[in-house]
Structure 1
Amino acid sequence: MGLTQARIAIDAMGGDYAPAEVVSGAIRAAAELGVEILLVGDPEAIRASTPHPENLSQVEIVPAEGTIEMHEEPLSALRRKPQASINVAMELVKQGRADAVVSAGHSGAAMASSLLRLGRIKGIDRPAIGAVFPTVMADKSVLILDVGANVDCRPKFLEQFAVMGTVYSQYVLGVQEPRVGLLNIGEEPSKGNDLALRVHQALSDNPAVPFVGNAEGRDILSGDFDVVVCDGFVGNVLLKFAEAVGESILQILREELPQGVRGKLGTLVLKNNLRRIKQRVDHAEHGGGLLLGVAGIVVISHGSSQAPSIFNAVRLAKEAVDNRVLERIRAQYQKVAAPATDGE
């Protein structure tokens, strides 16, 4: 029996280029990915944002009032604006009218709204944002979590991240036997601060985690690991540094290609190679990160997302829905995972 069509609610008002770029990416996703799109936001602003309003017939517009601005404190803003676009989008999932939410708006607000309206999976203390990085191996990626949801972590949080990352790697990334690593300053089990030492022991003792040891910074993109866990402070720095490196590589390629006729001929010859390079290093190709641990599928995209990023964020959400990530994490964690460490 085939999969039912995924219904994705998109916060149309969230992000630096909303609603125009969000709407553009959403319309493309509806046309190419076989998903139903619910655009949540100000109907007039959504209709005015596209030069081809006839394309809006491919999506459903769900009215909302206002958005959470980047400078606002998430919890107080969510309470002041119960009909803000991110709140309405989360409510659609809670009511069963949508299978997932995509937002390029205030990431703190998206996380807080998901916790308030959807709650956590039983047994998970803190959700984590998982981001997929390319590696030097052409057909292999690595999942890093947490990349920003939790600045301060206890050992049991990272243990839970590892369990969730293992499930995601298996069922979405297609890795039969994921190799899980702990980001650290050395390979030896004795290296690192108190948090790293305690997490290393917890992961070694947990039968639900195929833990292979510490991963140094140079190992992340080597292809030797499928999942790497860290706290959200380090993970967010790592994420933004990796994005900057990708942008720098693309900029250097543009600058170093010969100009004039020679340049055009060279670019034509290398067209397929350049496209593959862009797909591997451009963060827009990955769409954002999945918020693992909440009782719903939530993709948090970059605040600077334009149409291609929104399209890929919808693709990411669809993959999570189609592969039943939520149900698998819930079942795996409750059935298989060992009791969490005390982790005071």
Structure 2
Amino acid sequence: MAKRTRRRVDQPATTTTDPDAPSPRQPCPCGSGRRYKNCHGSANASAPFVARTFEGLPGECDWIALREIVPAATAAITLRSDGDRSVQVCSLLPMAAPALVRPDGTVWLGLQVQHNFGDVSRDLAAVLEHALETEPGSTVQAVEDPGPGRRMQDLVDPDAGFDVQVHDGFDFWIADVDDPSGEVAASLQAANDAAAPTARLTSVDAAYWTQMGDRRYLRWVLPHTENTLLDALARLHAAGDDRLGDGTRLIGSFRAHGVLVPVWELEGDVGPEALEDPADAFSGRLAEALDDSSTLSSAERSARAGLANRQLTIR
């Protein structure tokens, strides 16, 4: 008899909506502890992982900043279908609540929350849709994967602005409350104690000065693709043009939601006002470097390797 051969049946390839998604054997960025191929990279996953989750929203880079690096900030958003409904995005809400419906019906949507089901935009949209149907004076919780559905890009008016207001602390939580409860007051005190002083530059978009202990930094969320931006930063670094004035140096960057966030360390007592003109000038130099498509020199390649090695990914 002829020898029977065993034929391998290939499993369907995992799919993702984002080319920047991790490889199948890496840990899933949702934080489940499972490999990506067995979690949001699985063909049976309810929703695939999306890296650049805020792309297409007005002020994409500021959304990322409020989600990841700014302690206390707010921004009003306008909805496509219900533009008269007042909705305010908040970096953090009391006890990290996903949303609050205020007594006057205004919805406060929290960005810094404890859940992540693979597509942050979908997570936020599900909470917002729930909040829009919730009675005033209520807290909205998200406790399970919402599954496929509308994203914030489907709900937010793309022609509206995203005007960020940075606060010194979280006193805005209780600005209209005469006698906050003990639980809210305790949460407020803890949040204020942990908040690092932060300011948003006005001369450029999505650049945030902060003080951590006795050190100061500027973290600038930039919308360009990673490889293009690294090339441009390498050109500037090799030419000595990557500083934001005296007493500043580019120390690295981190990845967040599909983009890079370069970080400058600031010496002494450099404040946000001193960075306005240098940041504006740097923006012009960066634009020129981004337009340069020539091959990197050996010095530029070395600078690029150094920048790439000083990166941290946050999800």
TM-score (ref. length: structure 1) = 0.24
TM-score (ref. length: structure 2) = 0.26
> Whose relative contact order is higher, 1 or 2, with alpha carbons under 8 Å and at least 6 apart?
1
Q: Which has the greater radius of gyration? A: 2
Higher share in helix: 1
